[in-house]
A and B are shown apart, each in its own frame.
Chain A
Amino acid sequence: MLETLAWIVRRDVTIALRRRTDVFTTLIFFVIVISLFPLGVGPDLDTLRLIAPGVVWVGALLASMLALEQLFLADHRDGTLEQILLAPQPLPLLVIGKVVAHWLITGLPLVVMAPVLGLQYDLSAEALEVMVWSLLLGTPTLSLLGAIAAALTLGLRAGGVLVALLVLPLYIPVLIFGAGAVEATTSGLGGSAHLSLLGAMLLLALLGTPLATAAALRVSSG
């Protein structure tokens, strides 16, 4: 069973590596959004340091949401999703494989890129480290939650916009604790409590969301 999961991850990552533009669009979107804020707010470093955690996290939220629509769409169009639905294996497990691959393709690059962007906002090394940790724990939760919305809106005309509407309210806890972790660090309170809560949310999401996504996929493909 875990072997199948590994196969699905491997397949999706291989495909993504063969079509690199998809990976880069998400990443470039993230970079651009975050670079826009100083232009709107002004280059004052004190202000930028203050808004940095929120800006980076909102950027990550939007970027990972943008990539969601593609999560099941290609498989839906070419018929491989049908085969996954008909596989003699628990569907939630296969869903986890899809989400892990999706995170590796769209989430992990954001985590890697974030410290560089944090430097633009003059964040301290300590804050940058916490930011990476918070993103590392938080973005998989975003992908897991987002998978539900992606499955529910599969193949709909208004898919992309609808995903945003469905998923953003669910992202709020991750945003609060993710940005909160970085902010707590810069204000000297320490972000470990926030990070533990992000970890707890990741575990909960890992247990709960694949079931909902699997149910949604069955509904949407029917």
Chain B
Amino acid sequence: MYLRGPNGSGKTTLLRTLAGLLRAETGEIRWDGKPIHQVREAYHHELLYLGHLNALKEDLNPVENLRMDAAVRANPLAEDAAWQLLANIGLRGCEDLPVKYLSQGQKRRVALARLWVSRAALWILDEPFSALDVASVDALQAVIRAHLSRGGMAILTTHQEVELTSGTVCLVTLGSDLPEVRHA
């Protein structure tokens, strides 16, 4: 599902509400038919949220960051698996540099590396394509496609469309009334 709208139309607010970080003023968000604040742990088990912020610790290196993050997610990541993962997404050589020495684009890629090891069913991504170079955009599109073809769901705000091979795409533009649904 793509979420669109001009700046300030509430895209991020909506995503944060969907993730359960914000409390809905009216109405209710449900997961599996139950309000998310009642099934918080089960819901968060199936959720991967990436906001504007990279959620990386500047003083830790990418490997430490990813392993820490995986541990909090209850989806532990072995040290060599983390090295492998970083090499796969083109960050070889940055593995043991503190994150503060990386460029914006590299930081974003480390943050997005979580997607490659995610077991969550629902991805909520806020502007995942920002600050990425062309090759990384392609890689990210590929991983989102793979996730969807496995039956996963993704809700993202973006200006870049993912080319999909299958499944249902729903385009929601904030400020307009009806979502536009397309089949790829």
- For B127, the chain A residues whose CB sits under 8 A away are none
Number of interface residues of A (CB under 8 A): 26
In the bound complex, how far is the Cα of B98 from the Cα of A139, in angstroms? 32
The total number of A-B Cβ pairs within 8 Å is 78
In residues 1-55 of chain A, which contact B (Cβ within 8 Å)?
1, 3-4, 7-8, 11, 14-15, 18-19
Closest to A97 in B: B72
Instruction: Decide if B56 touches A80 in the complex (CB within 8 Å).
Output: yes
Residue picked from B60, B72, B74, B98, most chain A C-beta under 10 Å: B72
CB of A86 closer than 8 Å to a CB of B: yes
User: What DSSP secondary structure best describes chain B's contact surface?
Assistant: loop
Would A7 and B71 be within 8 Å (CB), given that A83-B55, A86-B47 are in contact? yes
- For B41, the chain A residues whose CB sits under 8 A away are 88-90
Instruction: Decide if B59 touches A18 in the complex (CB within 8 Å).
Output: yes
Instruction: Decide if B21 touches A78 in the complex (CB within 8 Å).
Output: no
Would A78 and B73 be within 8 Å (CB), given that A14-B60, A86-B19, A90-B41 are in contact? no
Mask: chain A, 74-85; 1 = CB below 8 Å from B; 0 = not: 000111101111
In the bound complex, how far is the Cα of B56 from the Cα of A11, in angstroms? 12
Q: How large is the interface on B (under 10, 10 to 19, 20 to 34, 35 or more residues)?
A: 20 to 34
Smallest distance from the beta carbon of B144 to chain A beta carbons, Å?
19
CB of B45 closer than 8 Å to a CB of A: yes
Identify the 3 closest CB pairs spanning chains A and B, nearest first.
A79-B53, A79-B55, A88-B45
Q: Measuring CB to CB, which residues of chain A are less than 8 angstroms from any residue of chain B? A: 1, 3-4, 7-8, 11, 14-15, 18-19, 77-80, 82-90, 94, 221-222
